[in-house]
Structure 1
Amino acid sequence: MGDSASLISAPARSTEPLPLESRSLLVLHASVTGTAIDVAERIGRRARREGWAAQVKSVAQFNPMELLEHGLVVFVVPTTGNGQAPPQFIPLWTALLHPGLPPDFLEDLRYAVFALGDSSYGKYNWVGKKLSRRLDALGAHAVVERGEGDDQNEWGVESTFPDWLDALVQSIDPLFAAPSGFAPLPAAARPPPRVRLEKIASTSETSPPSGSIANGCHTASSNGALLWSDDARWARLVKNERVTSDGWYQDVREIEIEIEGVTPDERNRLYAAGDVLEIRPQNSAEDVERFLTTTRWSDIADAVYCVNATSSDQPLPPHIPPGYRTTLRHLLTYELDISSVPSFSFFEWLAHFCEGDMQERLREFASPAGYDDLLDYARRPRRTINEVLYEFRSAQIPPDYIFDLLPLIRPRGFSISSSPASHDGKVDLLVAIVQYKTILSVPRKGLTTSWLASLEPGARIPVRFDTSGQLRLPPSPAPLIMIGPGTGVAPFRALMEERIRTGAKDNLLFFGCRSVKADFYFQSFWEKLVDDGQLTLSVAPSRDQDDKIYVQHRIPDHAAQVWDYVQRGGSIYVCGSSTQMPKAVKKALLAVFRSEGSMTLDSEVEALWDQLEKEGRIVEETWG
């Protein structure tokens, strides 16, 4: 995405934004974890309160040429890893970088950017910064200074976003005056619902076949979930086996799935080593029943409704057709997330449906004065939406607000641990079942992994291949250094299966586990490669001795080999947790560069690191 010089040398624009032709704006988001969606929706709601016609869209639904059709666009963009853009943002960014665009290409555009990132990374909010500079270079006019949210701040995005949103509203208000006599909708007033639920029939009555249309409404599929993307598809579970030792504290599964409807000649082209498989889970029947009981919707849970948007500015999610014919139980099972930690917006909405002390408490949570209380109540103990609703069960929630109150279930990505040629097109995953304890009595669990753990072979799973990642097979026979503690080792098995096929024998793997006897993933596979002279393996079992040993501690033992591989055009891939590991690994590698490369200046070492990153020879694929 360019170098840092443009961030320093580009002059600030001083031209005042031109007036608008209408009181309307577009909010574009590129979300990774869901935070960008929540921020974008809050911008849209605030704008509507102030009398603006506001559309909120994912960049995945947006044609870059539409920028010429809008007078005011607000971008909400996160930075992933160490400076990477979210996959769905790439087409828009690529279009903006087209060398043939003149410097006045976007002179009629007014814009604002709110960036999301993590200040522990060197390229903090890099995507937002680069986007601002590029829009300026194409003649666009910033209406407010770029906002920046920081995951490292205890309050997260709330540390900066409310003040930035106030500044945005103040800056755009003069660009097109509100109608004479207009008064903003008070914050305490409930906005209209996003959807209208029209009752059609109950399940006890005869209903049309799956996929048909009744009374102008599309019927929910008997398959259950709607596929959330045009390139999503159905798969069947083949294997679901625990690979950690019996009695070990962590349940890690090797999961194998097979894509449905694949022809023999398509099998080896389904995906590539380094790709990610997205899986969209569903809520358990028990959790759905609890939600229905809490909201007092049990009596209408299986009534059939036709779902339509109430405004063209707030359409249904793209994968849900207008006039979708469904039930509340179906929506809560397959579409809407009731198991995640609630966002800031959830408390704003819930306050509209409560009275008295409950409403006052919720509104305090949704104010700057209540941020610390909100952290203690929801974020730190990881309290779920379902649990919060139970505690505020006096809330009277009209079903029409179901898409306002609840976020969509998001797919979770897993690094693929197989290559298609080695597994006849099947897909292998290494999945750690997320379960942990907090101060709450009920253990916390991950929605996707707990759902996967419950499935038996033969179960159908909605999946999608994400091919946008940077973890790609290096050109053979260039050397490869792999650093992957825990399940971070998964994509390296896929890469090595392909490396073996091409005869690339210069491979070095640093693998971290807790105990060789308990969680040494793919042990027999790695050891065979070592025996065949195709891999150097360095294992860091952190709990098998008194002193804890991690992957970064093993790197100095192979300093000469690491430096030799780098000098010969090799790549370094780091996969695993995004907490402390990537920083510790980088520090260890920089020490190798300094000692083996006889570098005396920190600037020399950092320059080499930056150069390797630009060449795509250092890649981090990490997750929280």
Structure 2
Amino acid sequence: MPAPTYLPESKHHLVTELADGLESAALTWLSGYFAGVAQGRQLPRAEPALVPAAVDTSAQKRLTILYGSQTGNAKRVAESLAEQVAASGLDYRLVRADGYATRELKDEHLLYLVISTQGDGEAPDDSLAFVEFLNSRRAPKLPQLQYAVLGLGDSSYPLFCGIAQSIDARLAELGARRLQDTGTADLDIETIAGPWREQAVLQAREVLKKPAAKGASITPLHPKTGKVTRERPFAAELLLNQAITGRGGAKDVRHLELSLEGSHVRYQPGDALGVWPVQSPLLVDRIVSLLGLDADEAVEHQQATRPLREWLSRHRELTVLTRPFLTAHAERSGSGELQALLLPDAQESLKRLLANQQLADILESHPAPWTASELVAALRPISPRMYSIASSQAAVGEEVHLTLANVAYETATGPRWGAASNFLSNLREGERVDVFVEENTRFRLPSDPARDIIMIGPGTGIAPFRAFVQERSAAGATGRNWLFFGNPHFATDFLYQTEWQQALKSGRLHRLDVAFSRDQAEKVYVQHKLKERAAEVYAWIQGGAHVYVCGDANRMARDVQQALLDIAQQEGGMEAAQAKAWLDALAAQGRYARDVY
């Protein structure tokens, strides 16, 4: 686009560079900033001076809704809160945590935070800098601030909604006034989030001195009829279910292709596909048998009546233990062993139990009586599983592809498996599965097709990078693509090996480094390969490359991050603090992005 006549040619590229990659909220803020600068530079008008009217300071206050999201749930809940606030006629702004200017915190009067917990009590990637600031000595005293925090988490972790609770405590420590208790929403988010939002809007109206608008509704805006959402999924037909690990391998990894024909669903590389699983009939029968219940018994719960079998098959978690259920079962069973695990000093033991045992294990080892209605009420509602999309619509059209690791193992009392991976792995071509797309705006290809990208994805973390390469090839991007991939064995675990070899040959993939950890005496992982190529990796990054990491959050992602910090110190001559600031700056620019789980 040619530069406007009122913008000097020498400045046009600066504006373009500044705007590149910014979201709408940031662009809106910039437009207001520049408008203010312009107004401040205008010459005084030759008109009689006007006496300003008295300013109502309460009217100038606004609500800031700040969110931190790893997979998109907190973003969706924050947007729903913003819709309710807007319907009430309140002045507000909605800001992602990594787009929030922390210097503004001292001037806030009303702040709502919606934040998900990543793993066991940690902040999501987009909130790391905000949380670090809040916990630092630089954080200001906040006597003028009123606030509320809504946490999203997973009660199968001991530190359920841990980051939300720690933020809440820190704000109170800085002198802010809490408007309502921390909301702690489990995977059935709306059970807690809905009432929390309703109360938050009423409190915001009181704080901002805004009476309820006549006829205004604070009911969340509903999606347009026919739009595919989490609540209104699309029944996608399975086109292909193919094993992509070799015979004799320890893992069963599959490539699935689903039809989106007729759905009007669009997705971008980096997005996730939500899948609503159905529990295994074998597992449902096992649980019903252990409790001596009738699978056909009609159970009424929350204004819905269904047979117990249907509740357990489609509406309740059976393969994931949660602390609330464990607490209830410990009381019913009278088990001292279970009660001891729930004590504050037993967190590590509790973490191991929640990670390694399922509902059937607990019912078998610690028997207790449950009626059908009590069981349905106590179990957590089933939640969709999110899978990084392994395809680009530019390449596959009305299809979506997944890379799926089938989780299955044997215990002393029988087989155990993951609910969604077992369901998907056993789907036959022609059968259907309910799906929807979850956007991941923080994991996007660079807008400049000439930028290089470095992709680090061991195991099924390779999925989005298959989509990245497809998309870049279809778009004719001129930037180079470098992939780091790892798995235990070359012979059985080199996922999409033929595709990557063809991509290298055709020039769609420019570099490929692989780490097969068990093919030699000393284990080799992707972080080792990064450090082996330290000089080139650093040169690519300093030349403008974007770095992407996908896969395990607990070990791999941390090890890769440390490798990048080591590379900055080794190749850039940085001290540890400088290396951290360098990597933080890359993340703030959108040039270091992670999709970890």
What's the TM-score bracket when you normalise by the shorter of the two chains?
A: 0.5 to 0.7
Letter in 2 for 1:546: A
The yes-or-no answer on 1:571 pairing with 2:546 is yes
Aligned sequence identity (%)? 28
Q: Is the 8 A contact 1:514 1:544 kept in 2?
A: yes
Name 2:322's counterpart in structure 1. 343
Kindly report which structure 2 residues correspond to 1:215-614, keeping only aligned pairs within 5 A, or say none.
Answer: 229-230=230-231, 232-262=233-263, 266=264, 270-298=266-294, 301-308=295-302, 323-340=303-320, 342-351=321-330, 353-354=332-333, 358=334, 362-368=338-344, 374=350, 378-379=353-354, 382-395=356-369, 397-436=370-409, 440-474=412-446, 475-501=448-474, 502-534=476-508, 535-597=510-572, 599-614=573-588
Change over 3 Å in CA distance of 1:490–1:280 after alignment to 2: same
| C-alpha deviation, 1:606, in angstroms | 2.6
Residue deviations 1:121-174, cap 9 Å, x none?
Answer: 897976667789999869434699x999999xx964599999999999xxxxx9
Contact persistence 2:98–2:130 (CA under 8 A): no
TM-score, scaled to structure 2: 0.66
> 1:580/1:167 Cα in 2 relative to 1: closer, same or farther (>3 Å)?
closer
Contact 2:116 2:153 in 1 (8 A): yes
In 2, distance between residues paired with 1:614 and 1:546? Answer: 39
Distance 1:369 1:596 in 2: 43
SS of alignment partner, residue 240 of structure 2: strand
For residues 391 and 564 of structure 1, the distance between their equivalents in structure 2, rounded to whole angstroms, comes to 56
Mapped contact 2:158–2:350 kept (Cα < 8 A): no
CA contact (8 A) 1:563 1:593 kept: yes
Q: Tell whether the 8 Å contact from 1:116 to 1:128 is kept in structure 2 after alignment.
A: no
User: Aligned partners of 2:231, 2:442: CA distance in 1, in Å?
Assistant: 22
* Partners of 1:253 and 1:504 in 2: CA distance: 31
Distance 1:157 1:401 in 2: 23
Match of 1:54 in 2: none
**What is the one-letter code of the residue matched to 1:140?**
L
Displacement after TM superposition at 1:237 (Å): 0.9
**Alignment partners' CA distance in 1, 2:458 and 2:339:** 43
Match in the other structure for 2:212:
none
Shift of 1:67: 11
Q: Any idea what the Cα deviations from partners look like across 1:45-72, whole Å, max 9, x if unmatched?
A: xxxxxxxxxxxx9657644655999xxx
- Secondary structure of residue in 2 paired with 1:545: coil
Q: CA deviation at 1:516?
A: 2.3
Give the partner amino acid of 1:237.
L
Determine if contact 1:480/1:572 at 8 Å carries over to the other structure.
Answer: yes
Quote the offset at 1:453 in angstroms.
1.2
Question: Which residue is equivalent to 1:189?
Answer: none
CA deviations 1:164-203 (Å, max 9, x no partner) are 99999xxxxx999xxxxxxxxxxxxxxxxx9xxxxxxxxx
Tell me, in whole angstroms, the C-alpha distance in 2 between the residues paired with 1:430 and 1:544: 23
Sort the Cα spacing of 1:254 and 1:136 in 2 relative to 1 into closer, same or farther, 3 A.
farther
Q: Is the 8 A contact 1:101 1:138 kept in 2?
A: no
Distance apart, 1:463 and its partner CA: 0.9
Paired amino acid for 1:283: Q
CA distance in 2, matches of 1:419, 1:452: 21
**C-alpha spacing 1:239/1:591, structure 2 compared with 1 (3 Å):** same
**CA spacing shift, 1:604–1:579, aligned 2, 3 Å:** same
- For residues 175 and 466 of structure 1, the distance between their equivalents in structure 2, rounded to whole angstroms, comes to 32
Deviation for aligned residue 1:326:
2.1
3-state SS, counterpart of residue 414 of structure 1: strand
* Structure 1 residues 283 and 31, CA gap change in structure 2 (3 angstroms): farther
| Structure 1 residue corresponding to 2:145, chosen from 140, 146, 162 | 140
Deviation at 1:352, TM superposition (A): 5.2
- For 2:550 and 2:168, locate their aligned partners in 1 and report how far apart those are by CA, in whole Å: 36
Could you tell me how far apart the structure 1 residues matched to 2:383 and 2:400 are? 20
Higher relative helix content? 2
Check the 8 A contact 1:505/1:533 in 2, yes or no: no
Q: Deviations over 1:381-418 (max 9, x none)?
A: x22112212334341x3433344310011211111111
- The answer to whether the Cα contact below 8 Å between 1:116 and 1:125 also exists between their aligned partners in 2 is no
Q: TM-score, normalised by structure 1?
A: 0.63
Paired residues, number: 472
1:337/1:236 Cα in 2 relative to 1: closer, same or farther (>3 Å)?
Answer: same
Q: Structure 1: which 5+ residue stretches go unaligned?
A: 3-27, 37-56, 70-88, 169-173, 177-193, 195-226, 309-322
Contact 1:104 1:138 in 2 (8 A): no
Q: Whole-Å Cα distance in 2 between the matches of residues 507 and 444 of structure 1?
A: 39
Taking the aligned partners of 1:102 and 1:165, their CA distance within structure 2 comes to 16
Give the conservation status (yes or no) of the 8 Å contact 1:435–1:443.
yes
Q: Deviations over 1:527-554 (max 9, x none)?
A: 1222223311122222333332222222
- Rounded to whole Å, the distance in 1 between the matches of 2:273 and 2:144 is 39
Q: Is the alpha carbon distance of 1:134 and 1:383 closer, same or farther for their aligned partners in structure 2, counting shifts above 3 Å?
A: same
Using the TM superposition, name which of 159-168 and 475-484 deviates more: 159-168
Distance 2:99 2:86 in 1: 11
